Amino acid sequence: MFKYFEPNKIFSITSRAPKYVLLLFIIILSIGLTEALILSPEDYKQSHSVRIMYVHVPAAWICLGTFSVITFLSLVGYTFKIRNFFLISKSLAPSGFVFSVIALVTGSIWGKPTWGTWWAWDARITSMLILALFYIIYLIAWRIYDNDDKAFKVTSIITILGIINVPIIKYSVDWWNTLHQPASINILSKSSIHISMLYPLLIMTAAFALFSLLIFLMKYNTELIKIKNKGLDRL
44 belongs to the binding site for other proteins (CB under 8 A): no
Q: Rounded CA gap, 6 and 188, in Å?
A: 39
83 belongs to the binding site for other proteins (CB under 8 A): no
Task: For residue 170, give the nearest of 158, 155, 180 by alpha carbon.
Answer: 180
Q: What residues between 100 and 139 interact with other proteins by CB under 8 A?
A: 101-102, 105-106, 109-110, 112-113
Q: How far is CA 98 from the centre of its chain?
A: 8
Q: Rounded CA gap, 50 and 37, in Å?
A: 10
Q: Which is nearer to other proteins, 15 or 184 (CB)?
A: 15
Stretch that binds other proteins, among 47-55, 74-82, 146-154, 160-168 (CB under 8 A): 47-55
65 belongs to the binding site for other proteins (CB under 8 A): no
Q: Rounded CA gap, 170 and 191, in Å?
A: 16
Tell me the sheet residues that pair with 47. Answer: 43
Q: Rounded CA gap, 212 and 20, in Å?
A: 14
Q: What residues between 194 and 213 interact with other proteins by CB under 8 A?
A: 211
23 belongs to the binding site for other proteins (CB under 8 A): no
- How many CB atoms within 10 Å of residue 123? 19
Binding site for other proteins (CB under 8 A): 7-8, 11-12, 15-16, 18-19, 22, 33, 36-38, 42, 47-49, 51-52, 55-56, 59, 94-95, 98, 101-102, 105-106, 109-110, 112-113, 211, 214-215, 218-219, 221-222, 224-226, 228-229, 231-233, 235
